[in-house]
């Protein structure tokens, strides 16, 4: 039996997200502190005659495996750019563990995993800069998901500054399983020219440092998202009341909310509290991935 090639697609969390400018092309410039959790979709592949994709897992029903799927788009883009690099097809299987349209980069993370998979199988070295350019063409969040390490993202999300240090923290994610379209959230955004993120402390090694910094930041997309899905506000408020919570906020354009904790015990206890309060929501706890 052939051992499959495997790439993980970790959940992306925007701890802070400031919308700083509406561009002439209609997109927005952002500044965001992005981290990744040890919670992931999983992409497996074995050699085959042609490229195929099967989707399984708890959130498989939210996706199709046609040509518009980001995994297949990423593989097709890679083959178009480097046609001789991988000389066989791939039978791929995506285990969809993360909610869809949830503000935690699920589709973007899957596309990034596909690019990393193709690069790892390539018979020729693939320049990192070229792979990052390809990622940016697939979606604004794909370049950050390609590296899956704590970073500051600017521009539309493609200008990345990885952080050399980051405190060990744990996160609780709660999603009410209400899809929230990013475009709908941006349409309700009132101010498009908010001030940028404050300067990060250096070195950034202690949870208390990060907590103080985060208190001076926002997610500018949270207020319009709460208007569209009011329970987001309730979830954030409940997370903030759990023991040891450093910060509670919404991630990205929602509807996933997070609580940040200094220990695994506090995070798992908070997750239990949230599951008891919202048995029909998706709740997960995990450590953050460190540099």
CATH code (residue 128): 3.30.230.10
Range of the domain at 258: 163-287
Tell me, yes or no, whether 116 and 209 share the same domain: no
**Angle, CA 29 vertex, CA 23 and CA 30 arms, to 5°:** 160
Domain boundary among 143, 161, 179: 161
141 is annotated as an active-site residue: yes
E strand residue ranges, 24-168: 28-48, 52-56, 89-95, 151-155, 159-162
Q: What is the pLDDT of residues 151-194, one digit of tens each?
A: 999 998 889 999 999 999 999 999 999 888 888 999 998 877 77
Instruction: Dump pLDDT digits (tens) for 233-260.
Output: 999 999 999 999 999 999 999 899 999 9
Same domain, 175 and 251: yes
Q: Predicted confidence band at 277 (pLDDT cuts at 50, 70, 90)?
A: very high
- CATH number of the domain that residue 243 is part of: 3.30.70.890
pLDDT tens digit string along 28-74?
A: 789 999 999 999 999 999 999 999 999 999 999 988 888 889 999 99
* 229 and 110 both lie in a single domain: no
* Pair (175, 196) in one structural domain: yes
Asked if residue 155 and residue 26 are part of one domain, the reply reads yes
Q: Of the residues 12, 29, 96, 220, which is catalytic?
A: 12
Choose the final residue of a domain: 161, 177, 196: 161
* Residue 51 appears among annotated catalytic residues: no
Instruction: Report how many domains make up the chain.
Output: 2
The single residue of 29, 110, 141, 220 carrying the catalytic annotation is: 141
CA pair distance 69, 219, nearest whole angstrom? 28
The candidate with the shortest Cα–Cα distance to 251, out of 153, 168, 114, 159, is: 153
Say whether both 168 and 148 belong to one domain: no
DSSP alpha helix (H) spans, 206-287: 207-214, 222-228, 231-241, 264-277
Residues 151 and 190 in one domain: no
Which residue in 154, 155, 152, 133 sits closest to 143, CA to CA?
A: 133
Residues 6+ apart with CB under 8 A from 188: 224, 227, 228
Integer Cα distance of 168 and 216 in angstroms: 20
């Amino acid at each position: 039996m052939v051992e499959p090639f495997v790439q993980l697609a970790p959940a992306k969390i925007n701890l802070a997200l400031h919308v700083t400018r509406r561009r002439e092309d209609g997109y927005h410039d952002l500044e965001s502190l992005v981290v990744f959790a040890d919670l992931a979709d999983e992409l497996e592949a074995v050699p085959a005659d042609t490229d195929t994709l099967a989707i399984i897992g708890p959130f498989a029903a939210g996706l199709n495996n046609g040509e518009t799927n980001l995994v297949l788009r990423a593989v097709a883009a890679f083959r178009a750019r480097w046609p001789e690099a991988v000389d066989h097809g791939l039978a791929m299987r995506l285990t969809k563990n993360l909610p869809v349209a949830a503000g935690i980069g699920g589709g973007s993370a899957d596309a990034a995993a596909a690019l990393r998979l193709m690069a790892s199988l390539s018979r020729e070295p693939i320049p990192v800069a070229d792979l990052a350019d390809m990622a940016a063409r697939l979606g604004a969040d794909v370049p950050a998901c390609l590296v899956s390490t704590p970073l500051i993202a600017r521009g539309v999300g493609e200008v990345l500054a990885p952080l050399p240090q980051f405190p060990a923290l744990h996160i609780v994610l709660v999603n009410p399983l209400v899809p929230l379209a990013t475009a709908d959230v941006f349409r309700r955004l009132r101010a498009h020219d908010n001030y940028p993120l404050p300067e990060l402390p250096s070195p950034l090694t202690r949870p208390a440092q990060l907590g103080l910094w985060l208190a001076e930041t926002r997610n500018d997309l949270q207020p319009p998202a709460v208007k569209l899905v009011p329970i987001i506000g309730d979830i954030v408020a409940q997370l903030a009341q759990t023991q040891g919570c450093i910060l509670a906020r919404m991630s990205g354009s929602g509807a996933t909310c997070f609580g940040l904790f200094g220990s695994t015990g506090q995070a798992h206890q908070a997750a239990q509290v949230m599951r008891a309060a919202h048995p029909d929501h998706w709740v997960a706890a995990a450590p953050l991935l460190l540099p």
